[in-house]
Amino acid sequence: RTVYVNGEYLPETEAKVSIFDRGFLMGDAVYEVTSVLDGKLIDFEGHKNRLERSLKELDMTAPVTMDELLEIHRKLVELNDIDEGGVYLQISRGADDDRAFEYPDPEKVKPTLVLFTQKKNLRNSASADKGYKVISIEEMRWARRDIKTVQLLGASMAKMAAHKVGCDDAWFVEDGYVTEGSSNNAYIVKDGKIITRQLSNKLLAGITRAAVLRFAAEAQMQIEERLFTIEEAQAADEAFSTSATAFVQPIVEIDGAALGDGTPGPVAKRLREIYLEEAMKLAV
């Protein structure tokens, strides 16, 4: 693969980042993953806007303009011949000359920008056909889940806990209510109504969430943004999650309780279809 590091396109084996990089030492970095379908970037605008917000919340600035960032995405897609997959982007605060908690002077330390591509089948997904089994797990991440940082150990631990008991993913629960999935937003469907938690610092504002809710509203589907518990989810007709790379992922079991008939539900399936169709219109 050809990857991008700080202005250069290089073979992945030649790309280097300092051991003093704050992304490496402190998780002081933000990221985005933009899906690619038919060689095009899905909802780049949404990812760009969220990236700018994440940077702002952390008093960081991008080392290139957002237009340049789009060009870098496109060039990597082309160089690596990505028809379907994604582009990973990370901006860390950069490499200080030592380890310190305080942010370094942005005049002296420039942010580190890294991008690489991933080839993956996204449209045809065995997971989507089958549906996921999820477990619930007590929330253990930090309190600024609205910022998309690379501090992802909580998510990794949650996924490992799910795999350990033969499940596919985990939903975090805080004060009795579902916050979100390990790397996705969480939804339930009851009597045709789509229920998902309202945005706050407790969850990431998914780019796919925003798009799916918009498409659902356009399709005259009912939406309620509110808190819900695992018990309510287990008693729902269906459940699903959304993310940039999995789109709409049906969920068929929560903590061992099957939802509906235990197969992907009609609302989740329909939303996946609508998303795939509409998302292509957002492709650049």
Residues that bind ligand PMP in the complex, under the rule CB under 6 A: 180, 183-185, 204, 206-209, 242-244
Instruction: Give the HSE-up count for residue 118: Cα atoms under 13 Å, Cβ half-sphere.
Output: 11
Contact yes or no for 116/2 (Cβ under 8 A) = no
Q: What amino acid is encoded at 192 in this protein?
A: G
Do the bridges between strand 112-119 and strand 40-41 make them parallel or antiparallel, or are there none, so unpaired? unpaired
Q: Rounded to the nearest 5 degrees, what angle is found at the Cα of 208, between the Cα atoms of 164 and 249?
A: 40
Measured from the CB atom, the residue of 76 and 170 that comes closer to ligand PMP is 170
Please say which residue, 155 or 221, places its beta carbon nearer to ligand PMP. Answer: 155
| 174 φ/ψ sector (left φ>0, alpha ψ -120 to 50, else beta) | beta
Query: Is 148 among the catalytic positions?
Result: yes
Which CB, 35 or 95, lies closer to ligand PMP? Answer: 35
**Closest distance to ligand PMP from the beta carbon of 56 (Å):** 17
Of the pair 4, 275, the CB lying nearest ligand PMP is at 275
Residue 2 Cβ vs ligand PMP, minimum distance, rounded to whole Å? 24
Q: Whose Cβ is closer to ligand PMP: residue 112's or residue 184's?
A: 184
The least distance separating ligand PMP from the CB of residue 244, rounded to whole angstroms, comes to 3
CB neighbour class for 218 (10 Å; exposed up to 12, middle 13-18, buried from 19): exposed
The beta strands (E) that lie in 57-209 are given as 85-92, 112-119, 132-138, 169-174, 177-181, 185-190, 193-196
**Smallest distance from the beta carbon of 103 to ligand PMP, in angstroms?**
24
The set of residues, in sequence order, having a beta carbon less than 8 Å from that of 132 and lying 6+ positions away, is: 167, 168, 169, 241, 249, 250, 251, 252, 253
Catalytic residue among 148, 159, 190, 202: 148
CA distances to 68, 113, 148, 152, 240 from 23, rounded to whole Å, are 22, 10, 13, 12, 32
Least separation in angstroms between residue 63's CB and ligand PMP is 22
Q: What are the residue numbers of the active site? A: 148
